[in-house]
Amino acid sequence: MFANKKHFITAIIGALVTLSIIALVLSLVKIEDVTLPPMVKYGMVFDAGSSHTSLFVYEWDSDKENDTGVVSQTLSCNVQGQGISSYANDPPKAGDSLRKCLDKALKVVPAAKQRDVPAYLGATAGMRLLRQQNSSAADQVLAEVAKTMQEYPMAFKGARILTGEEEGAYGWITINYLLDSFTKYSPRAHTWVHPEAASIFGALDLGGASTQISFMPEGSVINWNEASKFMLYGYNYSIYTHSYLCYGQNEMLKRLAKQLIVESSSSTRVDHPCYPKDYSENISLSSFRTSACTNQSDPRLTLDDRNVTLEGRGNATACLAAIKKLFNFSACGQSQDCTFDGIYQPPVSGKFMAFSAFYYNFKFLNLTEGQSLATVRETIEHFCTRGWEDLSSSYPEENPDRLPKYCANANYILTLLLDAYKFSETSWNNIFFQMKAGSSDVGWTLGYMLNLTNMIPAEVPARVKGHVPSLWAVAVTFIILTLTLGLAALLLLLWL
């Protein structure tokens, strides 16, 4: 009997001690939510321009800053060949041209995330012109690129033609995002903050078929029909933006050639003041029919299959005068709030970044280091006087199709910025010719992605059950354990 009593009390003591130890272990931790790092999300955008197509892949953390992703560029890939509008007569080739860049994109996006990656294709002025001229061909080209993109493991969101104003506004967003004008990381606060005195830049974009100007005007704005409004990082922005179709540099060169031919007294050989001396180029009059910018009928010129030879004269003054004829400045009268063709524009204000063809032409001429307007003019005038043999030997690496056109392009840029947009000798110093900011390309695609992230829901950061020590629980359990051991000792004494 004493043995049974002994075993019984021993069992009770053992049970109490065991339960106390279990309680102690469990109370050493308190179950709490632990936030995991945010997931990285990806997006990709094709920039289907008039002369070429590029693919950009972006990434951002899923917990967004004030509903807008903090986006960085992960990949850029240039599609081989011309712009997708050049495949109007063979639309399937437009889709096939994208494959190499799509394959590269899938190598930088983790396989587990690929099917969730939103993918877009935005076509610009080349496709806007094709739609004007042959809407069914434009639809077929877009259908083929969409068909190709849908074959890849990603969330295809559409292929569409952007308006000129969208293109300009998204370029403006890109520039100011890269310059930290919208949001900036504060090491002291360990968070993203809105700059109190951010310098908002304007955007000047020159493509092959169109050109865009976008900026935030000062003071009151009248007749503001070109406004674009955005909500970015919790703040509202309203900007003036306008796009000029047929005023991209490639279309400008076609229009200039047609104008010179129309004005010439010769039907076969035409002086071209912007081309270098001793350079000549043969052009078929029927080629003017391929663009909506030059296919308008003119009683002085029949667009047949005849060939005309354009002969370079290297005359900077005559070149500039010929280019100015491409603009209808008289439609503005004496108004200072007007560019040309009667288009309203408030006075330019603030700093501007000029990119795309603005940058490439001036970079070739070594004019991207903030040179004065007088130096720019002098450099362009001197370049225009150089003969073809001199240029060919001086720039053996330059594309021979592009080299004879720099004189015309540079004079066109001067006319556009000074006579049309009305930059002055003083405000010229506020134009910065750049193509990159940090490691990212300047263009409309990043702004497009940033704006679209407002429509991609921010994810709640993932939370898991974790274990964190609780001092209060440890103290309570220690008391319980002490009392339990004390009770066990008392029972042991009574037994003895």
Lowest mean pLDDT across 182-196, 207-221, 425-439 = 182-196
Q: What is the CATH number of the domain that holds 53?
A: 3.30.420.40
pLDDT above 90 (res 198): no
Domain end marker among 393, 421, 438: 438
Statement to judge: residues 238 and 373 lie in one domain: yes
Task: Decide if pLDDT at 8 tops 60.
Answer: no
pLDDT (tens digit, 9 = 90+) per residue, 437-491? Answer: 877 899 999 989 888 877 666 655 444 444 444 444 455 555 555 555 555 555 5
Position with higher pLDDT, 33 vs 306: 306
Mean residue pLDDT of the chain comes to 86
Does one domain contain both 137 and 192?
no
62 pLDDT tier (thresholds 50, 70, 90)? confident
In a shared domain, residues 113 and 217? no
Residues 15 and 112 in one domain: no
- Check residue 31 and give its pLDDT: 44
373 and 239 assigned to the same domain: yes
DSSP state of 439: T
Type of residue at 382:
H
In this structure, which amino acid lies at residue 114?
Answer: Q
Q: Do residue 272 and residue 309 come from a single domain?
A: yes
Residue 461 lies in a domain: no
Residues 16 and 59 in one domain: no
Domain carrying residue 170: 163-438
Percentage of residues of the chain with pLDDT beyond 90: 66
Strands (E), 268-403: 269-272, 280-284, 307-312, 352-356
- Residue 344 contacts residue 225 (beta carbons within 8 Å): yes
Q: What is the pLDDT of residue 33?
A: 46
Is the predicted pLDDT of residue 270 greater than 80, yes or no?
yes
Q: Verify that 328 and 264 share a domain, yes or no.
A: yes
Global confidence as pTM: 0.83
Q: Give domain status of residue 447, yes or no.
A: no
CATH number of the domain bearing residue 193: 3.30.420.150
Q: Exactly one of 65, 165, 166, 167 is catalytic; name it.
A: 167
Residue that finishes a domain, picked among 113, 144, 161: 161
Q: Does residue 453 lie in a domain region?
A: no
Question: Quick one: pLDDT at residue 264?
Answer: 92
In a domain, 444, yes or no: no
| Mean pLDDT value across residues 306-333 | 96
> What are 75-81's contacts with CB under 8 Å, separation 24+?
75/104, 75/105, 75/108, 76/441, 77/101, 77/104, 77/105, 78/52, 78/53, 78/54, 79/46, 79/52, 79/53, 79/54, 79/55, 81/52, 81/53
Beta strands in 140-261 (DSSP E): 155-161, 184-186, 191-193, 202-206, 210-215, 227-232, 235-245
- 49 pLDDT above the threshold of 90: yes
Residue 46, beta-bridge partner list: 55, 121
Statement: residue 221 has pLDDT above 60: no
Q: Are 377 and 482 contained in the same domain?
A: no
**107 part of a folded domain:** yes
Give the pLDDT of residue 129: 96
| 142 within domain boundaries | yes
Q: Is the pLDDT of residue 200 over 50?
A: yes
Residues 135 and 121 in one domain: yes
User: What is the per-residue pLDDT across 126-173, written as a single tens digit (0 to 9) for each?
Assistant: 999 999 999 999 999 999 999 999 999 999 999 999 999 999 999 999
What is the average pLDDT across 294-311? 91
How do residues 12-30 score in pLDDT, each as one tens digit?
A: 556 555 656 655 555 554 4
Q: What is the pLDDT of residue 30?
A: 47
Residue 359 forms part of a structural domain:
yes
Q: What average pLDDT score do residues 169-193 get? A: 82
Does the pLDDT of residue 38 top 80, yes or no?
no
If we measure between CA atoms, which residue out of 393, 367, 459, 463 comes closest to residue 35? Answer: 463
Measured between its terminal Cα atoms, the distance across the chain in Å is 14
Say if 300 falls within a structural domain: yes
Tokens for 82? 């011309």
Instruction: Find residue 77's DSSP bridge partners.
Output: 55
Q: Of 100, 127, 161, which residue is a domain's last?
A: 161
Q: Clarify whether residues 101 and 156 are in a common domain.
A: yes
Catalytic annotation on 32? no
Pair 150, 222 in one domain: no
With 90 as the cut, is the pLDDT of residue 3 above it? no
**How many structural domains is the chain composed of?**
3
Element (H, E) at 96: helix 91-96
